Structures are given as structure tokens and as C-alpha cells.
Structure 1
Amino acid sequence: MHLDDVTTALAGTSAPDRERFLAFVRTHGDAALRRDGGPEHLTASCFVFSPDLGSVLLCLHRKGRFWVQFGGHLEPGDRDLAEAARREAREESGIADLDLLSTSVADLDRHDLHGGFACAAHWDVGFVAVVDPARATTVSDESDDVRWFALDALPEGLAPGLPARLAAVVATVAHRD
């Protein structure tokens, strides 16, 4: 993954935190792309929705003890942020042929980490996939559960800010159509 590709992807979004993310990447350079590059770094995630955008597939994160979209650290073999998000969603959902709806960034969210996390903060870059809820899923080693939820009946114990992020991502996806 090249730093120029990351800045191009970030510059192409209209997400409210775009300038803050670009400043972080420009300040930290390649270290922003590596989990060993410092206590704060980029991550990639994937919001997996049903085709009607009425339900979302979430995982119960083992370390964080909260329901959240699929995602994680960038790996050396990832070509770009979109590929990292797709890889994470495939690994954590068990849906091997999951593909992104678009390679455009749909969400930016910087969040502090506490408890069992070695990192201080993640600068998360989110993408979207659409999957039939009838597809079989599996639980990865990083989660305790994977389950579909209607957006109007989300579970207790969500990651902080997740309902607002879901609403914004659905609005972004609906606007693209």
C-alpha cells in the first residue's frame, strides 16, 4: 500500500473528518499505515448491509466487548484501503466472496481505545458491502458472535457512536444510487 494511494482515497471522500484524516496521514507518513508505527494509526472497516439497507451484519468484538462493523489493521499485502476492508470483512464474517459495493470511502471515524487494546486510537476508514442475509456466516477468533440486526432494532452494547455512523453510511449509499 502506498501513501499516495491512501491520500488519494481520503481526498476523494466528502466525509466531515476528511481534512483531519489527511493531516494525520501527512504528518505521520508511512507510520500512519502500520500498527507498529505508533499508538495511533489507520485501520480499514466494512459495513455489511442487506440489499434493502434495512439490516446490518455486526460482530461482537472479543477485546472491546461491543457490537461493531468488521475491520482491523492494515496488512503489508493489502494493495489499498478498500482491499484491507474487504479482507477484514471476509475474515471476520466468514463470507469468502464478499465484495465491496464501491471502492469509495463511505465513513471516517477516529476513536480512542481502552481496556485490552495495545493501540491508543484508530483512524478508521470505512467502506460498504451488500450481502444477502441468508448467506452463512462464521465467527472468527477476534469475535464472540456475528449476527444480523435491523437498523431500527440494534442491540445493546454497540461501539460508541455506531448508530450515528450507520445512519450516515446508509444516507451516503442511498445518495449514490
Structure 2
Amino acid sequence: MLESLADVLDRYKPRTDAEAADVARVRDLLSGDPWSRATPLHVTASAVIVHPPTRRALLRWHARQQAWLQVGGHGDPGETDPLAVALREGEEETGLDDLVPWPDSQLVHVVVVPVTPSATEPAHEHADLRFVLATGTPDAARPEKPGADLRWLSIPDAQRLAGPDNLRETLARVGELLA
């Protein structure tokens, strides 16, 4: 079942004042195309992939950010369901074709993150909607390209390796679900 961004946000309860402010910024995008990369703030969707029996999480090396991060990215033209974007990105970046929302399809974290400029894009921000996806076949994970290494880690190890503080917070929330 496809869900709109507004529906996903309506079901979500931010945990902190800072997160509530980020959710409000995402809601402000609903009057236009929240996924448009032409705006300085636009929506992305991502996920921490887990293997619940071993309580491990999968991180991906992102060369541009020089950091270990979760999988995810921009919606393709016509995509409007954040969970569908996270599922597609998860499969593309890991090769895992059995990903499912876990333990359900609820958001786990909403955070606005700065993005450094590149040769083709100015500095901007992503309003990242984060989910948890599970796989039953962790050994089938394969990087989508050379230099996009993947690592299965315990939640504490993932938190130590993770790039930004906001991802450590996402991983803490994932750890609560796995406990």
C-alpha cells in the first residue's frame, strides 16, 4: 500500500524538540514538491538494514561524505512514498532482494542533515526520513559499486563507526527495537 509523505508524518511522534522542529520543516515542504532536488531542502528516505536473529545492522561506506552511513537517497521521478524509496534504495545499494519493513513500517527517525557541495550541486539540506528494514539473507549483501563497502556490525560497533551524531541516535533507536 503506497502512503503519502503527509500520512507517514501524521503517524510519527518526534522524540525531541529538535526532531519536532525538523518534522515541522518537512511539513512546510508539503505545499510544493517535497522531493524536488531543485530546492535547498528536500526529502530523502533511508533505512538501517538489520538481521534481527543476530541483532546486527548494515552500514555502507559513502565516499563523498567519507563516512559509514545507512542506505538511502532521493526519490526517483514520480515516487512519493518514503518507505518505497527506502526499500528501493536499500535493494540497489546492497543487492538484498528480500528487504521488508521491520518490525513494522513506521518511521524511526526524522532529521534534517546538511549536505556539502559537489561539482554538480551547491550545499543543501536533506530532510531524511529513516526506517528499519530487515533481511533474512545477510550473507547475500553485495556493494552496488567498488568503494561502496558494506559492513555488518553490532549496534554498539555501528555506533562507534557511524559518521554523524544523528546516525548514532538512529542506531540507538534501532538498538531499542532489537533488544
* 2:175 counterpart of 1:170: yes
Alignment check: 8 A CA contact 2:61 2:147 kept:
yes
Alignment check: 8 A CA contact 1:59 1:143 kept:
no
- Residue segments in structure 1 that go unaligned for 5+ positions in a row: none
| CA drift at 1:67 | 0.3
Alignment check: 8 A CA contact 2:22 2:110 kept:
no
Query: What does residue 76 of structure 1 align with?
Result: 77
Query: What does residue 6 of structure 1 align with?
Result: 5
User: Deviation per CA, 1:103-154, whole angstroms, max 9, x where unpaired?
Assistant: 2111111111125382511110011112246431111149520110112223
Task: Write the letter of the residue equivalent to 1:168.
Answer: R
Alignment of 1:79-94 (within 5 A): 79-94=80-95
Alignment check: 8 A CA contact 1:110 1:121 kept:
yes
Query: What does residue 106 of structure 1 align with?
Result: 108
Alignment of 1:1-177 (within 5 A): 5-16=4-15, 17-18=19-20, 20-27=22-29, 29-36=31-38, 38-52=39-53, 54-101=55-102, 102-116=104-118, 118=121, 119-132=123-136, 134-141=138-145, 144-154=148-158, 158-161=162-165, 162-171=167-176, 173=177
| CA drift at 1:34 | 1.6
Alignment check: 8 A CA contact 1:57 1:148 kept:
yes
Q: State how far apart, in whole Å, the 1-side matches of 2:31 and 2:147 are.
A: 31
| CA drift at 1:89 | 0.5
Q: State how far apart, in whole Å, the 2-side matches of 1:29 and 1:126 are.
A: 22
- Residue segments in structure 2 that go unaligned for 5+ positions in a row: none
Task: Write the letter of the residue equivalent to 1:111.
Answer: V
| CA drift at 1:165 | 1.7
- Tell me the C-alpha RMSD between the 2 structures: 2.7
What is the TM-score with the length of structure 1 in the denominator?
A: 0.82
Q: State how far apart, in whole Å, the 1-side matches of 2:94 and 2:6 are.
A: 28
| CA spacing shift, 1:159–1:116, aligned 2, 3 Å | farther
| CA spacing shift, 1:142–1:13, aligned 2, 3 Å | farther
Secondary structure at the aligned position of 2:4 is classed as helix
What is the TM-score with the length of structure 2 in the denominator?
A: 0.81
| CA spacing shift, 1:69–1:129, aligned 2, 3 Å | same
Secondary structure at the aligned position of 1:32 is classed as coil
How many residues align? The count is 171
The farther-off stretch of 16-25 and 42-51 is 16-25
Q: State how far apart, in whole Å, the 2-side matches of 1:104 and 1:138 are.
A: 26
Aligned residues with identical type, % of pairs: 23
User: Deviation per CA, 1:11-69, whole angstroms, max 9, x where unpaired?
Assistant: 21112324532443335623322222x12101000111121473110100121110001
